[in-house]
Chains A and B, each alone.
Chain A
């Protein structure tokens, strides 16, 4: 049995979700290879080779893979899949984009966003926004799986895999890259941060998010937002934590002025420790919080920043 894991990266560095996905692959068992498709991504290959549990890093380095266009990547993965029993990718927007194409071409079902491995062919995955957990078994010849990073620990980085380059160039010629606007930040990304501090509608306006940034600076935390805060225009879309935003599970999640709508809880309830700061003691967020502080956030948050 051998497993192909598709690496998530930006041509410059490997994304942490790859490490969690490798852990899922190792739990399934067997030989694990990592596919790295990109352009000028040698540095990433070096990083990837250090992931424990990975046997070979297969590098497809070509301009057609530069922007992870689903049509091109899925053709490449489909060609390679013949040699594998499982194909895994992180359930990032990227993995979600190309993996169903791989599954459809192979004429198999995809198992989306698994959070646990039960056996080689059986997995757990959340449905109904995490309000139910399904255990599903796949009878397909190749198991095409996306992995929710928060369900698995990150693999260690003390391995030494061999790096092999592939000369396959698969260009579907169906789409082309126009531009990308990525948020520039010195802070860790939401999905990989160990600590997250998020603000809700209670923040009142966008400039009050500065208060959260002061705490985030002290803790090396990422800053998130609830959908209510995003909808109110206090924070940009890519900061949204929740069912329709990012699914996160940091060691510490601090929810500030967030009431705790089911939609939001679905995105953060697997965090190890949850802190809620809200002046409404009836707010549902307190039902999932390990530590709750009933207080005006405009008093509590500056004090928190000060005392760290």
Chain B
């Protein structure tokens, strides 16, 4: 079967973000960028399916600026077979991304699409589900385990209070949670091979998708800082303060 993985280029998760002084957004100049951690888990899962003989081709797609090729190459170094970049310098909302991915799905006809559950920049947690509905597919979000069967895939999902297992008809969309797997490190031979793997570049116009968003970001500000409180000397003092000062117990 064919597996499509969507990946996003985001700020490296170790970087502490700073809001720009004009409050127009977050300062991304000279900041290290990387593949979204949840997307890395998606790539790893697809590659494992290939290694198990379940998948025979893993295609990775990203939507973003030209430099997002780096993340596609990284995915190919981890084991994806080929890449597609839908190049755009506009920052796109989830809906536009999902529409473009739906077009890629139409062309590629994958049996399984794996995405990260959310990107660590916008924290939207939308794209996979939107793609699911636009492509007419079932979905298994927040997956912590995947078992592919005949014409169906069983997905264990991390839900509030525990785990839920669903059976999805193929083709299906899966979004990854943190504990689905632990992504590998790209090996040098595979990094070198990745250089020679095919990478197609498209534009939103190629797909005739309208990427105008109904959302406008008016302002981005820093969250209110919590001020440090007081150190107490003993458990007794703590209990006294919680009872009489904070009045929470």
Contacts and interface: CB of A to CB of B under 8 A. Distances in A.
A182 B223 contact: no
Interface in B180-221: 213-221
B162 A183 contact: yes
A232 to B, nearest CB: 13
**Chain B: interface secondary structure?**
mixed
A289 B160 contact: no
**Chain A: interface secondary structure?**
mixed
B124 interface: yes
B78 to A, nearest CB: 21
Contacts of A70: 129, 132, 139, 141
Interface string A247-272: 00001100000000010000001001
A207 interface: no
Interface string B222-235: 11001011111011
A269 B95 CA distance: 30
B159 A131 contact: no
Interface string A165-183: 0000000111111111111
26 contacts: A70-B129, A70-B141, A71-B138, A93-B142, A94-B159, A100-B125, A100-B130, A103-B130, A104-B129, A110-B130, A127-B123, A132-B223, A134-B219, A136-B217, A175-B169, A178-B154, A180-B164, A181-B162, A246-B160, A252-B246, A275-B242, A291-B229, A291-B246, A300-B235, A304-B238, A308-B239
The 5 closest A-B pairs by CB, nearest first: A174-B138, A100-B129, A290-B229, A182-B162, A140-B214
Interface of A: 67, 69-71, 74, 92-94, 96-101, 103-105, 107-113, 122, 126-140, 172-183, 189, 191, 195, 219, 237-238, 244, 246, 251-252, 262, 269, 272-275, 281, 286-295, 300, 303-304, 307-308
